[in-house]
Structure 1
């Protein structure tokens, strides 16, 4: 049985994991200091990109037999892709870890519980925006009906310590949703990728995004029938389901005569910017994806390009006393290379003093749903992050991704700092300065 299982995994790795990409790794080790799990594990080689690639090749070649320890090495990878900018050989680690998880998912025998969870999540919740909105309405009911207050009072979440802190960080959700079709004097015509969580749990940030762009002279249109970008599926070994979502979005945005397709979630933006790699070259879908990718832009980059700094500098002078800091979205930085623009915007805000945090480029431990699946490692990473936050003496932590935002809020709760420190999306913080809400 063991031999049969090992061969099943080997064949799956041969089929799903590109050997040429594996061979790009020179084993030089430049990736090691960039990898959070390597650092937090006490420099365990199997928790490094180099070590994981070696394991991928060993399984593919039949040099090692599959067991739970190998699976754990891949499961503990954050997928933050900080190793890619550090790699002198240009190893496509993000693609390799996705292919590996696809191979594992194909080969392993899933329990009925895992099958149900995956089907509900990937075939319903993150495949149909209407169902996502229904789920969020239930969260709204939980918050406003008194259930949340009662659950906290009786200590219900003490039974579930891994989600107790996360429950406290849920945003208070508005009852109504903004209509995403606005028109203004057009310096640029922009299609807005509204996202799944951003369009529901963080709907206020989406509204603020639109208003800021309109104030800068953009015409903003949000195509109907958008779906989740597919990143969660792709990172979870569900590449076919990720492609399904990608196709839905390509259809929704097809033939739109716009200058940009903007998003305000770093993780989504990275996956959207790589849609073309999901399809065979010369395929019609690949052509559509290339056109879609060419217009992708992050909200901080677009705000910067459209002159938000000029608008901020027109505001009345204030004494700079409030310290703010910035936590990079891993995928925004490591995949899309957006590093300067968010910092330049924050440095231009009057009444705030921007202070760079040591290790801002390292993952916060959110990584999609990693903090739910791997709470022990996620919390170790978060503890290290919050240590650096406190050294800055910042009262506001700003980021550009919903998962990072919730994770930083969780860190604030863990450190009992909620009365003095808050975490805010960059769009919302800029909006506060301009609109003074």
Structure 2
């Protein structure tokens, strides 16, 4: 079989999988009303119908109806989508756009021509064993830790030795947090911790993968805040990556493998709740029942698991412990409502995690926490619900669109006059740090996780 015949066969297999797997009922549910368009970052940036959820659904339906081929232009529009799912809360027909996108990405992952120097399937094959076993991830972080702390990073930047990297990769290297190969378990000294004060229940901490090696301090603060709030905390040893990075790029089989491991491990731990401090991970975890819906022996346990998953802010707000805090110095307001504040008051703003807001529907929790903190002037970020451009690895594979989006976010930050940008997701935190770097505002704007800010101000 020559290369052209192989290409035709591949395209035919891609089209057939899309026809077989796309949920036609969901495609038909779209009324073409256009309510999704103002919520879509890529439509806002391009003004193109095809770059909106309505347009992408129309493309999917055209393929399913046999009216068009899933060609390169089709793939480009699917790849351009951030998967932020801001279209779902505003859709009057409750179209499950995220599920349609996943079905499409799954088919593209299996049959589309790999783009770039490193085929996506090859990259996933390399990454899978690292993300499945936490000790392997810590080993990788040890290498990064040595690079950052040995002086090599400083030398590389001072000598401009990384100039061969694309500009967006150079920026990412500069803003990357210091790796911690110990992880939360070694930092806090164990896998189980007792509640302080009146006990509410038992929480299993989902420590994450990137979260636990680049944001270890956030995981440590999460344990501290949960025990202070009245929860026993368990950190199951054999938990794996949530699978989001694999699922969002089409490798659903690997995501299912990770999901089964986590469902079993947390089920064996006998916890009341599962705490997530990363919006992207939490959104993946609460949809394990959908991910494993076709496997009869797993659908029940996956449904029980998904119900237990809660964002850290929701769990903290259930505790009476924080009702004893002094009233916040300044109530939250918008940038259009200027107010004179005391010299010791910190002005902060908050960039939503798309998946925390749009999938977990828990976007108000972090805001409620901020309103509890004394001497904090919380200013709402205009358009804070709009994606920052991180979206997993989107800012690496679609750097121009990601930069355009984060630049618009920084314009809104400027209006708040905030000295701290808070987020609830590691990817968002890194992307907003990219925005601060591009703004050349490192000397006046800090980016923090909500958990770290809350712990810094409350656990003194």
Relative to the length of structure 1, the TM-score reads: 0.95
Q: State the alpha-carbon separation in 2 of the partners of residues 235 and 31 from structure 1.
A: 20
- Confirm or deny that 1:323 pairs with 2:324: no
CA shift for structure 1 position 215: 1.1
Q: List alignment gaps of at least 5 residues for structure 1.
A: none
Q: C-alpha displacement at 1:381, in angstroms?
A: 0.3
Match of 1:15 among 15, 20, 24: 20
Report the Cα offset of residue 72 of structure 1.
Answer: 0.6
The CA distance in 2 between the partners of 1:234 and 1:342, in whole Å, is: 26
The match for 1:151 among 141, 149, 156 is 156
Conserved 8 A contact 1:194-1:263: yes
- CA–CA distance in structure 1, aligned partners of residues 49 and 328 of structure 2: 51
Is the CA contact 2:56–2:78 (under 8 Å) kept in the aligned structure 1? Answer: yes
Q: SS at the partner of 2:193?
A: coil
C-alpha contact (below 8 Å) 1:309/1:345 kept by paired residues: no
Aligned position for 2:194: 183
Q: Which aligned runs of 4 or more in structure 1 are off by greater than 6 angstroms? A: 314-318
Distance 1:312 1:397, change over 3 A: farther
CA contact (8 A) 2:328 2:372 kept: no
User: In structure 2, what is the equivalent of residue 274 of structure 1?
Assistant: 287
Deviates more, 1:14-23 or 1:80-89: 14-23
Q: 1:308–1:345: 8 Å Cα contact kept in structure 2? A: no
Paired with 2:180 and 2:9, the residues of 1 have a C-alpha distance of 53
175 and 249 in structure 1: CA distance in 2 versus 1, 3 angstrom threshold = closer
1:164-215 deviation digits (Å, cap 9, x = unpaired): 1111111123453323321234222111111111121111110000001111
- TM-score (norm: length of structure 2): 0.90
Contact 1:194 1:206 in 2 (8 A): yes
Whether the 8 Å contact between 1:395 and 1:421 is mirrored in structure 2 is yes
1:16-415 residue pairs with structure 2 within 5 A? 16-41=21-46, 43-110=47-114, 113-114=118-119, 115-121=121-127, 123-160=128-165, 161-174=167-180, 176=182, 177-178=186-187, 179-185=190-196, 186-280=199-293, 283-307=296-320, 309-313=322-326, 319=342, 321-415=345-439
* Range that drifts further, 171-180 or 369-378: 171-180
- Alpha-carbon distance in 1 for matches of 2:271, 2:133: 25
Residue 434 of structure 1 corresponds to: 458
Q: Give the count of matched residue pairs.
A: 434
How far has the Cα of 1:44 moved from its partner? 0.3
Question: For the Cα contact (< 8 Å) 1:325–1:396, is it kept in 2?
Answer: yes
Matches of 2:394 and 2:295, distance apart in 1:
35
| Shift, 1:108, TM fit | 1.7
Q: Is the 8 A contact 1:5 1:66 kept in 2?
A: no
How big is each residue's C-alpha offset from its partner over 1:284-310, in whole Å with a ceiling of 9 and x where there is no partner? 200100111111100011111114642
Flag the 1:83–1:126 CA change in 2: closer, same or farther, 3 A: same
The 3 A distance-change label for structure 1 pair 215 and 283 is: same
Between the aligned partners of 1:140 and 1:47, the Cα distance in structure 2 is 39
Q: Aligned pair in 2 of structure 1 residues 76, 263: CA closer, same or farther (>3 Å)?
A: same
Gaps of 5+ in 2: 331-340
Question: Would you say the 8 A contact 2:139–2:181 is kept in 1?
Answer: no
Deviation at 1:65, TM superposition (A): 2.0
